[in-house]
Amino acid sequence: MKFSKKFTFGAAISTIQTEGLGITNRGLTTFDKYYSEHPEKFFNNDGPDITVDITRHYEEDIKKWAELKLESIRFGFSWSRLFPDGDNLDYDAVAYYKDFLVKLKQNNIEAFMTLFHFDMPLWAHELGGWSSRIVIDKFVKFAKFVFEEYHTLVAKFVTFNEPLVPIMGGYLYDGHYPGIVDFKEAISQFYGLTLAHAKTTELFYSLNIKDSEIGIVFDWNITIPKNEDENNLYAAKVHDAFTNRGPLNILVKGKIDDFLIKILKDEKVLPDVQEGDLKIIEETKIDFLGINYYFPKRVEFDHTSNSKYTLFKIKPYLPSDARMNVHRGWEIYPESLYLIGQYIKEEFNNIPWYIAENGMGVENETRFKDKNGLIEDDYRIEFYTEHLESLSKTIQEGSNCFGYHVWSAIDCWSFRNGFKNRYGLIGVDIETQERYFKKSSWWFRDLILEKNGK
């Protein structure tokens, strides 16, 4: 595999998964609410209040990332920390994020910063979430402050991370708050989020910021039908329209997918469109696209489903010969990175893009410690290598990929899974908050050094 010196290697984390309540005042989020109501739904009853306490440890963590020669880090700004009640700014939080970014810059690490990574403020949810025009306007106000305050320290701003996940988890499946099934409300929430994304990017360009770029990070589970059966092909087409192609077209190009709209119209779940909305959405533009990739989505038509909604007539399928991460239960299919790169080249005008998350979660990882206490995670090194080879191939064939971030920069709290599966480039002892390197840490460092000819 081959990567140019301009190609950036780094890692990603989020605020809600690493900060906990932290050293500054933070307003409650929907995950705080979810945990308070149903702690039994969280692995080991671990909630979002502690995590890895990065607000107290970020200087140490940044030094460790620098020791590994990381060239970029994606972190973020917590909306509920900067504006705990939605209106009033917390100046301690402003200073904390400023110092975090300054420390990254001092260590020659570029900052990629996300505005929203699953951390909906509770007050915003109570106003209706993304279905509320008040919430959308307050999000744009939050973004305006962030752009003006931090643009000189941030290389790339990200509006949303995995925009579909909290909506599908919250309104189609019991994975995020409020954990209900309401298909029409799910569509309304995504429509509002689309509008928030469009207004935020419009604001960014209106500020004429020259030292930063703006984009979005999307989770792409490439869709593979079980076979060539007509019903299974249709199931894959529908799944792709709802979870990949349809949302990407809107968020990247402002283009509404006709096939998706027909389904929503036939099933009477079209969102409430106000005058001027479509013009804003259709003028959406971004500088780059981030892709989170972990596993493909193999699907088949569900002949047993009685649902009136097409999306619920699709079920997952796994072939008997699928390669699995036995520690996590996800399929390993690195070929997807090549396919994604070629699709972006052909369908999205070869927009600059990067892998924003790619990694391997493993339960009880400490069992792989050697006699000196080093976790020998050769399984993770193999995972990275195979995916990077696929990524390198798509770049050699003309796809405009500029970087690769592993998930995650440090072991972190994974929503309802808590600390069950560890992904970190740096490990954490949750009891003591001690940080430590793994075998894959040094492998990744050597990869970066080799790329730079050192």
Q: Which residues are catalytic?
A: 162, 357
- Number of CB atoms found within 10 A of residue 226's CB: 19
- 8 Å CB contact between 25 and 93: yes
- Number of CB atoms found within 10 A of residue 142's CB: 22
Give the integer Cα–Cα distance in Å for 260 and 246.
7
**Which helix (H) or strand (E) element contains residue 386?**
helix 378-396
Residues 6+ positions from 372 with CB-CB distance below 8 Å:
none
Q: What are phi and psi of 94, to 5 degrees?
A: -55, -45
Alpha helix segments (H runs only) across 217-334: 230-243, 245-248, 258-266, 277-282
Sign of CA dihedral 250, 253, 259, 265: positive
Residue carrying structure tokens 């995590």: 51
Beta strand pairing status for 353-357 and 288-292?
parallel
- Number of CB atoms found within 10 A of residue 315's CB: 14
Strand spans (E) along 375-423? 401-407, 421-422
Residues 6+ positions from 360 with CB-CB distance below 8 Å:
325, 327, 328, 379, 380, 383, 384, 423
Amino acid identity for residue 289 in this structure = L
At 9, list the tokens: 């290697």
